[in-house]
């Protein structure tokens, strides 16, 4: 519960399903990266996931927010 409220059950189910599909896409892309890098036989490494996330972001499948820049830096 957030601020004393609960999310509707249907909304929770929808978000969980969308997230499950997105994680599947990320793992699939990480396996492609591992194969391209010659690591296809071993376990997926964090570097494979980072590169897959970067590629999915370039393809428009990852929501990116702009960071607010500090006016003092």
Query: pLDDT tens per residue, the chain (73 residues)?
Result: 567 788 899 999 999 999 999 999 999 999 999 999 999 889 999 999 999 999 998 877 676 666 666 666 5
Cα separation, 6 vs 13, whole angstroms: 13
Give 2's strand partners. Answer: 5
Q: What is the pLDDT of residue 59?
A: 78
Contact, 67 vs 44, CB < 8 A?
Answer: no
Q: Which residue has the tokens 């599947």?
A: 24
3-state helix, strand, coil in the chain (%, to 5): 55, 5, 40
DSSP-derived secondary structure letter, 5:
B
Cα separation, 40 vs 9, whole angstroms: 39
> pTM of the prediction?
0.74
């Amino acid at each position: 519960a957030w601020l004393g409220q609960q999310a509707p059950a249907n909304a929770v189910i929808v978000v969980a399903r969308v997230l499950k599909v997105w994680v599947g896409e990320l793992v699939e892309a990480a396996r492609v990266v591992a194969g391209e890098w010659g690591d296809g036989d071993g376990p997926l490494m964090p570097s494979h996931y980072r590169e897959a996330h970067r590629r999915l972001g370039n393809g428009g499948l990852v929501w990116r927010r702009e960071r607010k820049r500090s006016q003092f830096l």
